[in-house]
A and B are shown apart, each in its own frame.
Chain A
Amino acid sequence: TQLLEQSPQFLSIQEGENLTVYCNSSSVFSSLQWYRQEPGEGPVLLVTVVTGGEVKKLKRLTFQFGDARKDSSLHITAAQPGDTGLYLCAGLKTSYDKVIFGPGTSLSVIP
């Protein structure tokens, strides 16, 4: 059973388009993280959200944590080829628990 679901699984878009990817769960998390991973490398942390309803911005990336702390979204404005990669959400149910990952969204931005 996958505790964290992500959608879509694959996304291929043209440079300059906007996109949103989703991370959903039936469980409540004390915090959610978003990572980006490029082929052959380990995931790199982008952001952490901890408060229900929280919105964080990182340049063209906007992250939102759901009010009930069960879901999150990542919105990219004016996508660039450098945004290509595997986007992973991860969560911590309590501070004493382990970090689990979703299956990822593979994004390809075509020049």
Chain B
Amino acid sequence: DTGVSQNPRHKITKRGQNVTFRCDPISEHNRLYWYRQTLGQGPEFLTYFQNEAQLEKSRLLSDRFSAERPKGSFSTLEIQRTEQGDSAMYLCASSFLGTGELFFGEGSRLTVL
């Protein structure tokens, strides 16, 4: 296993378009997290899964954001009707249940024009 994989690494889109990011976690890990990060700031929690179940979604997230983890393997994060304020790095991480030791992907950078 080569670790957590995210794609695309970079996405430039126009305001109002939809975008989807994919995350392939480490295969043995049952927890999967999505975070958003802007320059020089810490990762902001978006949502997380235990296997295929979505356990929590940040109250700061609008209904334009949705995430899935079908079959408890890879996950997708979709942003509908993108806004310029959505421009950020979107990070995916995976872990075993009960540990705070996260393994991150390299992130997907979104630029909304």
Which of B43, B44, B98, B104 has the most A CB atoms < 10 Å from its CB? B43
Interface size class of B (residues with CB under 8 A): 20 to 34
Chain B CB count within 10 A is highest, among A6, A91, A103, for A103
Are A32 and B106 closer than 8 Å at their CB atoms?
Answer: no
Beyond A48-B100, A99-B100, A99-B102, 18 additional pairs, beta carbon < 8 A:
A31-B100, A33-B102, A35-B102, A40-B107, A42-B91, A42-B105, A42-B106, A43-B102, A43-B104, A45-B102, A95-B99, A96-B98, A98-B33, A98-B45, A99-B33, A99-B45, A100-B45, A102-B42
What 1/0 flags go to A48-81 for Cβ under 8 Å of B?
Answer: 1000000000000000000000000000000000
- Inter-chain contact A41/B107, CB cutoff 8 Å: yes
Say yes or no: A98-B104 contact (C-beta < 8 A), given A42-B93, A88-B42, A92-B99: no
